[in-house]
Amino acid sequence: MVRRWIRFLGKEEALKLMNWNNSDPYFSLRVNTTNGYTRDDLVNRLEDLQVHYEKSIMDEFVRIREGMQAVLQAGLLKEGMCAVQDESAGFVVSVVDPQPGETIMDCCAAPGGKTLFMASRLAGQGKVSALDINKGRLRILMEAAKCHNLDDIITDIHGDLRL
């Protein structure tokens, strides 16, 4: 694999790729603005928990490399302050750019990160239909929607879009 990378990328770029690939991963936390929280609120809680973080280029996101257990034990996810969501999914929502009053169909909705984020962008005005083939994962999505006070905006639909 390394020989292939060097052949396609050159030695310098292949080394950069290998160093990046060996680096510690991070978790992205998205603040739940629907519940009235801001990124500063989340940052303050992380500081109280002594969890090191870095701010993302996206306003709703913070990255942590360690300290997820502290976040879980403090109940930040259960109380609806934030959700674990990869920033790449957040970029998708930024491209869709949901606006209040719109109706959105998420055709592969579970486990719900993009669905919840899109619903939060509707500011209480609009609907998101969350379609997924997996009933159990839809149930988890709707539990998260309740936690984030978005269950009145999101409707779950158990089904297979191919059918």
Encode pLDDT of 19-78 as tens digits.
Answer: 989 988 889 999 998 888 999 999 999 999 999 999 999 999 999 999 999 999 999 998
pLDDT at residue 25, rounded to an integer: 83
Binding site, annotated residues:
108-114, 132, 160
The structure's pTM equals 0.78
With contact defined as beta carbons under 8 Å apart, do 56 and 29 qualify? no
Residues in binding site for S-adenosyl-L-methionine: 108-114, 132, 160
Residues with Cβ within 8 Å of 29's Cβ and at least 6 positions away in sequence, in order, are 42, 61, 62, 63, 64, 71, 76, 82, 83, 84, 85
Q: Please, are residues 138 and 156 in contact by the beta-carbon 8 Å criterion?
A: yes
CATH numbers and ranges of domains, the chain: 25-84 (3.30.70.1170), 98-158 (3.40.50.150)
Q: Collect all residues with Cβ–Cβ distance below 8 Å to 43 and sequence separation of at least 6.
A: 53, 55, 62
Check whether 93 has a pLDDT greater than 90.
Answer: yes
Report residue 163's pLDDT band, with 50, 70 and 90 as the boundaries.
confident
- Quick one: which of 155, 146, 14, 163 has its CA closest to 78? 146
For residue range 147-159, list pLDDT tens digits in order. Answer: 889 999 999 999 9
